[in-house]
Chain A
């Protein structure tokens, strides 16, 4: 069975600074997807970024980038130039490479961006 672990329950960062959120996972699969979802106080789940395990290049989306280390089963999220609107719970999630597959989520990291 796959598991996802986020070891940082809470983090804080000053506005305009950079922060990195950690995620590790366990799987015997070779092909899979990894995601970061953001959940602001409204509790809406918003997809931030996606990484395909077969790609060596780390995914980036504007201020958001990942550090994907397949051998170490590590998938961290870096947020550059943090903004107040980045304050949210961030969930790391795993999905087997199978259309229609389920997402397996970590416990979440609550990020506070301070002015």
Chain B
């Protein structure tokens, strides 16, 4: 069964550094998403992406964040200058319509 994959599974970075989180969505899906879950809290929407552009973004998704689909298969989330409060689990999801399928997540730790 096709699945969403994410790399790396765990990323440790120093405050102020740039990180890129990578996702490979399910191949025939059209809609792509990033969500964030701070430990012990609910899952929060960051951004949605369709037809090579951002469809919607949340208040969390400020100028430090960007997304890209560089080659038709990968979908990346870049954080330009990480802060301590960016430490969280980041989930990628993809969908053809209404059912979103999630990847296993990347745990980002900012020290």
Contact = CB atoms under 8 A, between A and B. Distances in A.
Interface stretch (B12-20, B40-48, B65-73, B75-83): B40-48
Contact count band on B: 20 to 34
Contacts, number: 59
A103 B31 contact: no
Interface stretch (A19-27, A39-47, A59-67): A39-47
Interface of B: 30-31, 33, 35, 37, 41-45, 48, 50, 55-56, 58, 89, 91, 93, 95, 97-102, 104-105, 107
Contact of B102 (A44, A97, A100): A44
A105 interface: yes
A43 B105 contact: yes
B43 A45 contact: yes
A102 B91 contact: no
Contacts of B50: 100
Contacts of B89: 43
Interface residues of A, number: 23
B33 A102 contact: yes
A100 B48 contact: yes
B32 to A, nearest CB: 9
B104 A42 contact: yes
Contacts of B58: 102
Given A99-B98, A100-B31, A105 B105 contact: no
Given A37-B102, A45-B43, 15 more contacts: A43-B37, A44-B104, A44-B105, A45-B93, A45-B105, A50-B98, A50-B99, A99-B95, A100-B95, A101-B48, A102-B45, A103-B43, A103-B93, A103-B100, A107-B41
